[in-house]
Amino acid sequence: MPVAPTGSAPKRWTTEALLALFELPFADLLFRAQEVHRQHHKPNSVQLSTLLSIKTGGCPEDCGYCSQSARHGEAEREALLDLDEVIAAARAAKEHGASRFCMGAAWRGPKDRDIEGVAAMISAVKDLGLETCVTLGMLKEGQAERLKNAGLDYYNHNLDTAPEFYDQVITTHSQQDRFDTLGKVRGAGIKVCCGGIVGMGETRAARISLLAELANMESPPESVPINNLIPMPGTPLADAPPIDPFEFVRMIAVARICMPQSMVRLSAGRQEMNDELQSLCFLAGANSIFYGEKLLTGGNPEAARDMALFERLGISPA
């Protein structure tokens, strides 16, 4: 099947059309991605988000990439942070240029009593003038509405990987469970942050399948985080071989082309990327990053390094 015309998207993206993009010469693919990017976004602007773990460790799920799983036992179990700690972190994030503050909790899903505490955090962060985002796991009926009423802008719930590869990474829930939560989020009028992880041993075909799922949602996610696996000690994927850097850039570029209006976020794994690789990702259409010293239980480049790179590239933080 021929590659879709520059700057346009078919009603549905087939795996054949996405494969055709992946197989373009590298320079041609980046040129195509840049054309699409410039039609829908400021060409030299990158949105800054900061992520805070508000409840770490002890998750009952068995996600093969995650050290917060109680089954892997690496992350120390901690209670939900106090509201004052969250407000202090959010205020510091804003002072350092972040425009979105994301809060993550290591739960299979929040209990109703947990929602009250998280809702207070959302309202407090919103009052600081920041966009709000949370990732809390699978939601029950009515919980999304309570988060929306508190002022939540985005809910993060990744598809993680292709449906055909899913049970090789996670067995304690299905990908359909994730779609069910995304449906509740959309139904409550909350924007969706949803992407996946590469470098878990999946094939290119599996990466294409994941992108097809994301792009073919009735409304594609407003924010699409592309995570490069951080192999965490003690997890089943601790020894996963790294993805080829150019293949990772191709993933970013194809995501940009098939979801032209979405923010494509360069997420986990940036600490292992040199400046040149990150620059290629921005050229390929990444226009959002996690910014700060910690990304849940994995490291993230220091803020000063990010600002220095932006200055060298002529990128303005947003």
Please list the active-site residues: 59, 63, 66, 102, 133, 193, 265
C-alpha–C-alpha distance, residues 275 and 310, integer Å: 10
Asked whether the beta carbons of 185 and 157 are under 8 A apart, the reply is: yes
The angle at the Cα of 175, spanning 51 to 66, to the nearest 5 degrees, equals 40
C-alpha–C-alpha distance, residues 170 and 255, integer Å: 23
The angle at the Cα of 251, spanning 310 to 248, to the nearest 5 degrees, equals 65
Strand locations in the chain (E): 45-55, 100-105, 131-135, 154-156, 191-193, 196-198, 223-228, 263-266, 288-290, 294-295, 298-299, 316-317
The angle at the Cα of 114, spanning 235 to 159, to the nearest 5 degrees, equals 45
C-alpha–C-alpha distance, residues 64 and 242, integer Å: 15
Per-residue exposure over 131-153, b if at least 16 CB sit within 10 Å of its own CB, e if not: bbbbbbbbbeeebbebbbebebb
Backbone angles phi, psi at 299, to 5 degrees: -75, 160
The residue among 204, 140, 174 whose CA lies nearest residue 63 is 174
Strand locations in 4-113 (E): 45-55, 100-105
